[in-house]
Structure 1
Amino acid sequence: MPHVPLVSPGPPLTADQRQRYARQLALEQIGDLGQRRLAAARVLMVGAGGLGSPVLTALAAAGVGTIGIVDSDSVEVSNLHRQTIYTMADLTQPKAEAAAAALRARNPLIQVVAHQTRLTAANVLSLVDDYDIVVDGTDNFATRHLAHDAAAQLHKPYVWGSVLRFDGLVTTFWVDGPHGGTRLEDLFPSTPGADEAETCAVAGVLGSVCAGIGAMMASETLKLIVGFGEPLFGRLLVHDGLDASWREVSYRAAHTPASAPDAAQQPVDTSHSQVHTHPAPVATAAAPLTPDEVTSAELAGLLADRQAGSADFVLVDIREPWEREIVAIDGSALVPMAQLLTDQARTVMEPDDRVILYCHHGTRSEYARGVLRDNGWSNVTHLAGGIDDWVRHIEPAKPRY
């Protein structure tokens, strides 16, 4: 059903725009006015990876006037099977800049802004405030939390997708949406268990599933901008690539406005669906936008201080044993993430210890930090960027994987 367009129309279309978007202009739901709304729209894509690639190319092709890309990584050969916006010529290049260059080459009629940076508490609000919609394709729990909470605080729609193995999810959260609006915690009301914190790097992913979910995320974004169709407010699409099925899971706001107390409904129960394979951190209105991590340079200094006897902490490698055989940070102890809360783990790190966690790229350790804090550890941080960042900046002679 039609809904209020998010973006006001821009100036009249040029001859080049009319020629390029002719087949889209022919759609009654878009037409001249809708295309002008697209040209005036500003969309922030967080993550230029497996989901970001199809989202970005679709939005650029559709004529979204300004696209911002936030990503701090560089292109690696293992990205290419699913991150189709890149080519072999982009290897080692910053992702945000390489993706921006690719979009400019595809459509010179739009503006593309590369934000080659990590989304942090210090920059998230200023970044989000400059755009109309946030689209999140990251697999990093803390980044999702930051992006969602900033979008909610600034009353921006937040289009979210996730992929793992052969499964995919997509929905749209918006505090100003219908029925009291929706937030991330309405769908994921509790912190997932450690066995649910897998990422594509660990569990794997089929690249074509990324393309399918990314296409749906792009469609959601275009619908919001122009005001056609029915956005996924309170509806989660679940895709199973193995049996080629799509199904819908309904959910509602956990807390409805005081003016409608009788409409309150419980959060959706995801315990018997594929939703649990794509967990997200619990977000609340009062959740602080504050990271808690150390950089590779800071960790190197701390290790030197510990060697000199002026620092006391436990450095814990939460990767799998096969990963540690490839490369490890000297002076660390191995506690695979699935064993974090076992009695054996407590022989390595007591709840009163100062603990620094690390993994491959920082995603698992960021999540594990929250798990430990929820279970009695009071002084836990993690290595931003994981051992991959450590090797690149501190011990470049060691292997990367």
Structure 2
Amino acid sequence: MPHAPLVSPGPPLTPAQRQRYARQLSLEQVGDLGQRRLAAARVLMIGAGGLGSPVLTALAAAGVGTLGIVDSDSVEVSNLHRQTIYTMADLARPKAEAAAAALRAHNPLIKVVAHQTRLTAANVLALIADYDIVIDGTDNFATRHLAHDAAALLHKPYIWGSVLRFDGLVTTFWVDGPAGGTRLEDLFPSTPGPDEAETCAMAGVLGSVCASVGAMMATETLKLIVGFGEPLFGRLLVHDGLDASWRELPYGAATATGVTGPLAPAAAADPPRDTSHSQVHTHPIPVQAHPGAPAPDEVTSAELAGLLADRQAGLADFVLVDIREPWERDIVAIDGSALVPMAQLLTDEARTVMEPDDRVILYCHHGARSEYAREVLRDNGWSAVTHLAGGVDDWVRQIEPDKARY
């Protein structure tokens, strides 16, 4: 299906650009105009590891004008078998800086920005806002959900890949894509706990599989920028390195089939965890708990409804905080909540709504952002903070079905 180019073309190409990208310019689908779009494009890579290495080198070679790199780690010798952008000389060096230096050396015609930082609720929107496309090569679901939700809020395409052992997955999420767009929740209806999600460090990975999957992620990026080919909207590309196969699985809001196999969010034999019912957490926030008692990790919509009734009767004391954006709150909100957008969680203004010694319940759209924000607050002095499983979407389905959903 034809799609419009994502990026407007930049100024005329220089002789140096024409010489360097001559074989790419000769492609009918790219040409002079497409190369100018690439030169004007701004792409953010989250994670400069096994997937970030092939993605970044391919995009730099293709002439993407500005590449941003977000990574907080340093180079270790165990990285080198798959993170091919680094050398022995980079050991102990910050990854974002080392990767940026390698890309500048490879292609001095582009700009590379190193963001040597951990992606957090406090910085994610500001980081992503400055780029056209977000590419995620991280290996944990908390960061994936954070990056995806921020990209969705800012209407940026989000290209995602994952590798484990000999297997790989690639797709592109975009809320502005065809047929109503796609979201991470369409593919992964539930999020695994830390004891359920395997990582490369635990299970291992073949370095060449990273290269294969990273190459596909880079190709997806170039297609979106220039406007050729058929992006992976609503299609999951599955690679099996053992039998050298690539297959395609459709997904979308209407199917929500999820994924099985070694890269699935839960064991293949288990059904997706239902985070909207009481079996997840059977105990709400204690109404008369000890002042310093820790809050549970999450509450259900039914539990929150009971707590709000108790608060109305003077039997409970807590602050309900909506961490979504104002435009989302205009669509639907839970009565009795205060708005503190996620990017403002650690500001002085936020403390006027919720002090560190307050009992706090956070909520967002589906629960992913609030889960991450809960950990951010806990890391910054809030001891009694929890969040609403399933977010306001579950609240509407379970408690106030007459309210709007989005």
TM-score relative to the length of structure 2: 0.66
8 A Cα contact 1:236 1:251, kept in partner: yes
Q: Which amino acid aligns with 1:213?
A: V
Q: Which amino acid aligns with 2:36?
A: R
Question: 1:111–1:194: structure 2 CA closer, same or farther, 3 Å change rule?
Answer: closer
> SS in structure 1 opposite 2:74?
coil
- Give the CA deviation at 1:278: 8.4
> SS in structure 2 opposite 1:238?
strand
Residue 75, structure 1, aligned to residue 75, structure 2: yes
- Give the CA deviation at 1:2: 2.5
Q: Which amino acid aligns with 2:119?
A: L
1:147 alignment counterpart? 147
- Give the CA deviation at 1:380: 8.9
Cα distance in structure 2, aligned partners of 1:14 and 1:380: 55
> SS in structure 1 opposite 2:264?
helix
- Give the CA deviation at 1:270: 2.5
Cα distance in structure 2, aligned partners of 1:193 and 1:129: 29
Equivalent residues in 2 for 1:233-252, closer than 5 Å: 233-252=233-252
Cα distance in structure 2, aligned partners of 1:77 and 1:131: 31
2:230 alignment counterpart? 230
Q: Which amino acid aligns with 2:255?
A: Q
TM-score relative to the length of structure 1: 0.66
2:256 alignment counterpart? 267
Residue 219, structure 1, aligned to residue 219, structure 2: yes
8 A Cα contact 1:238 1:274, kept in partner: no
- Give the CA deviation at 1:142: 1.3
Equivalent residues in 2 for 1:303-322, closer than 5 Å: none
2:160 alignment counterpart? 160
> SS in structure 2 opposite 1:74?
coil
Q: Which amino acid aligns with 1:102?
A: A
Cα distance in structure 1, aligned partners of 2:170 and 2:266: 10
Cα root mean square deviation, aligned: 2.8
8 A Cα contact 2:165 2:200, kept in partner: yes
Question: 1:207–1:379: structure 2 CA closer, same or farther, 3 Å change rule?
Answer: farther
- Give the CA deviation at 1:193: 5.8
1:94 alignment counterpart? 94
8 A Cα contact 1:164 1:278, kept in partner: no
Question: 1:165–1:239: structure 2 CA closer, same or farther, 3 Å change rule?
Answer: same
Equivalent residues in 2 for 1:242-391, closer than 5 Å: 242-253=242-253, 265-271=254-260, 273-276=261-264
Cα distance in structure 1, aligned partners of 2:194 and 2:41: 39
Cα deviation code 1:319-372 (max 9, x no counterpart) = xxxxxxxxxxxxxxxxxxxxxxxxxxxxxxxxxxxxxxxxxxxxxxx99x99xx
- Structure 2 segments unaligned to the other structure (5+ residues): 276-291, 295-370, 376-382, 387-406
Q: Which amino acid aligns with 1:50?
A: G
Q: Which runs of 4+ in 1 moved over 4 A?
A: 378-381
8 A Cα contact 2:77 2:88, kept in partner: yes
1:39 alignment counterpart? 39
Cα distance in structure 2, aligned partners of 1:4 and 1:131: 18
Q: Paired residues, what number?
A: 284
- Give the CA deviation at 1:236: 0.3
Cα distance in structure 2, aligned partners of 1:278 and 1:33: 45
> SS in structure 2 opposite 1:249?
strand
> SS in structure 1 opposite 2:178?
coil
Cα deviation code 1:280-301 (max 9, x no counterpart) = x99x9xxxxxxxxxxxxxxxxx
- Give the CA deviation at 1:146: 1.1
Cα distance in structure 2, aligned partners of 1:194 and 1:132: 31
2:356 alignment counterpart? none
8 A Cα contact 2:186 2:258, kept in partner: no
8 A Cα contact 1:174 1:182, kept in partner: yes
> SS in structure 2 opposite 1:237?
strand
Identity of aligned residues (%): 84
Structure 1 range deviating more: 94-103 or 136-145: 136-145
